[in-house]
Amino acid sequence: MKVSPLSPLTYRTGYYIPSIAFGTWTLGNGQGPIDQVEQALDNGFNHIDTAQSYRNEGEAGTALHESGLSRSDVFITTKYSGTNGLDINTSIHNSVENLGVDYVDLYLIHAPSLAKPDIPTAWATMEKIKEAGLARSIGVSNFDEKDLQILVESAKIKPAVNQILLHPYVYRRQLPTLEYAAANGIAGGPLDAPLNAIASRLGATTDQVLLAWTKAKGAVVVTTSSKKTRLQGYLAAGDIELTQEDVAAIDAAGALGAKKVTLRRLVTGALVGAAVFGACSYFNIRIF
């Protein structure tokens, strides 16, 4: 297994999270996702991001076991999705069985609408799952600042991360959520000109510049790309450092035209974990 050059982020709890993940949400079922997860692991990815609603936890588990890697070599994130009407506790037992592991590194509530009968009650169940050792860390996904406030007010254990959509076109809209996460220790077209100029100056691709932008925001990235060369390129972006001016130029361009350019899937799944999610973009809740 190759080693990713991208530095991991560290939770308040002391656990680390690799700063780029391979996601299974678009892969479907069968041999295809097994092959693609194995390819990601072979090329240096050591973080697999899946969910019950993706219906391929079993395939991810098969790929992990066929890779020959030890459990400690790979960080596994999965999510409670309310699949088949099952509750949070039943679902985590099903997930670890499907994945063929004793625990997951990170277990998330996939959306605030799934926190039933309410956010405090659902989160109390998540805390018990962590205490039972089924998940080393717990967090949420797609929560906004109001949802996080309700959670934090009742939580005994703060979420490690809030996994949200994060790319230049939505950064301004997501900023209140990122700021709330950071303040609570939770570890989240118009772009053509600045991206091309920065990429040309650095001898990089625009994809790599976008990954470096996400890294500058303290975020973890999830990609589902099936192309080996693209996976290798993402990992190679670990050495790219943007200036403050570069980051500001991308921020400004993104705010001007959210529909002018189609961003690659690289950034559609950035995780928030505030430092307080420090970044999720895994901002340390740190932001995922």
Confidence tier at 171 by pLDDT (50, 70, 90): low
Q: Which helix (H) or strand (E) holds 137?
A: strand 135-141
Q: Taking the complete model, does pTM exceed 0.75, yes or no?
A: no
User: What is the pLDDT confidence band of residue 275, given thresholds at 50, 70 and 90?
Assistant: very low
d(CA 211, CA 167): 9
In the predicted model, is pLDDT for residue 265 greater than 80?
A: no
Per-residue pLDDT tens for 6-53?
556 666 667 778 877 888 988 899 999 999 999 999 999 999 999 999
Q: Which residues contact 257 (CB under 8 A, 6 or more apart)?
A: 169, 189, 190, 191
- Listed in sequence order, the residues at least 6 apart from 117 whose beta carbon sits closer than 8 Å to its beta carbon are none
- 202: exposed, middle or buried (Cβ count in 10 Å: 0-12, 13-18, 19+): middle
Give the residue numbers annotated as catalytic, written as ranges.
54
Using CB atoms within 10 Å of the CB of residue 227, give its burial: 0 to 12 exposed, 13 to 18 middle, 19+ buried: exposed
Across the chain, mean pLDDT equals: 80
Model pLDDT, residue 283: 30
Whether residue 67 is predicted with pLDDT greater than 50 in this model: the reply is yes
- 57-65: average pLDDT: 96
